[in-house]
Amino acid sequence: MVLLAGLAMTSPAVAQEAAPKHKPLAEDGLHDPDLPGVHMLQEPGDVLGHLPATTSGNLVDWNKAVRDGYIEPRATLLDRGEVKTLDLDIYLPNTGDAKVVRFPHLEHSEWLDCNNCHPVPFAEEVGATPMSMLEILMGEYCGICHGAVAFPLTECSRCHSVDYDDYLKIRDQQRR
Amino acid sequence: MTTTSRSVISSGAERAGRRWSRRLAVLLLPLAVALPPGTADAEYADVVLNRLSEAADMAPVIFPHWFHRVRFRCKVCHSDSELGFKMRVGANPMDMQRLQEGEYCGACHNGQIAWGLENCELCHSGKMGLPTHIKGGHETSGPGRW
């Protein structure tokens, strides 16, 4: 029975390798293949398959796609617009047994305006917004985007990325 | 497994029932882990909008975040200065009237930036009966699956 359970638990990874990376819209379980419009739409595989890859979400490294010029998403409705980025890392050290979270403003400000996140849901002062992983998993704070449209919350190490000792060194450097 | 006094005083049928439900649970547990509901076929962050569609005999709308993200940064649609979409499925009170007046999707889907609203079937392309939701969470993730 244990062996059977073990086999069943490894099967999703095997199935994912065998399946095409991006399902055609007519087979995605959401679109109705009997409706004529479905066959006029752009297929995700035709676009996403040509962008830098990751292993989760849309299987696209969206930041690399922008940084390396694969895509040039507009910053305003009508033209390319101006993108004001902020290169400032924020560290969240109260993470229990998990590694310290490094939040990079740089990648976020490529996509978002300051007022998308400030002052709601995040106060601008560091440490002024208490949040827990449970709330994030329930779709609050970081979980408004991560788990819905930005990379999912199964990618623990992409946020929890800094050893506590290294964090202490960074903090001491910043204080100097 | 159940060698407590409770099992001693319960009837044979009850005991057999519990034994079978336990066996069933052991059998189904790996299935529950292996096949999470709503499998990974649709693209991550696809949104189904069916608050009004089906009640008006129209197919639900499927909004592909990936398609729009290739072309626009998040803030274009999600900032108050432009389209003002709240980042929560179901939190945006749009209807065809408001779209025709240039709000929400209608800011682009007017035949100038993107196809006009007369192309009903390009957006109303979902299966009937789908609830309003976003494809996300662990369901469409990769190796970091819960």
ipTM of the complex: 0.87
Distance in Å, alpha carbon of A5 to nearest chain B alpha carbon: 5
Facing A148 at nearest CB: one of B67, B83, B134: B134
pLDDT at B34 over 80: no
- pLDDT bucket at B129, cuts 50 / 70 / 90: very high
Write the DSSP string, chain B. Answer: ---SHHHHHS-HHHHHHHHHHHHHHHHHHHHHHHS-SS-TTSPTT-EEE-SSTGGGT-PPEEE-HHHHHHHB-HHHHHSTTTT---SSTT-----HHHHHTT-GGGGTBTTTSB--TT-HHHHS-BPTTPPSEE--GGGG--TT--
pLDDT at B24: 53
List, for residues A17-72, the tens digit of each pLDDT value. Answer: 555 789 999 999 999 999 999 999 999 999 999 999 999 999 999 999 999 999 99
pLDDT at B136: 84
Sorted by where each begins, the domain ranges of chain B are 5-34, 47-140
Q: Are B81 and A76 in contact (CB under 8 A)?
A: no
Residue with tokens 């040509």: A50
Residue numbers in B near A147 (CB within 8 A): 136-138
Decide if A55 and B119 are in contact by the 8 Å CB cutoff: no
State which residue of chain A sits closest to B68, comparing Cα positions: A73
* Mean pLDDT, range B36-57, rounded to an integer: 83
Facing B59 at nearest CB: one of A32, A112, A147: A32
- pLDDT bucket at B82, cuts 50 / 70 / 90: confident
- pLDDT bucket at A175, cuts 50 / 70 / 90: confident
Q: Which of 53-112 (B) contact A at CB < 8 A? A: 59, 62, 64-67, 69-76, 78-83, 87-89, 107-108
Range B47-140 has CATH code 3.90.10.10: yes
* Mean pLDDT, range A2-17, rounded to an integer: 46
Strand order in the sheet with B61-63: B61-63, B47-49, B133-134
pLDDT at A15 over 70: no
pLDDT at B17 over 70: no
For residues A71 and A67, give the distance between their C-alpha atoms in angstroms, rounded to a whole number.
9
pLDDT at B79 over 50: yes
Facing B43 at nearest CB: one of A9, A22, A37: A22
* Mean pLDDT, range B24-28, rounded to an integer: 50
CATH class of A84-176: alpha beta
pLDDT at A174: 87
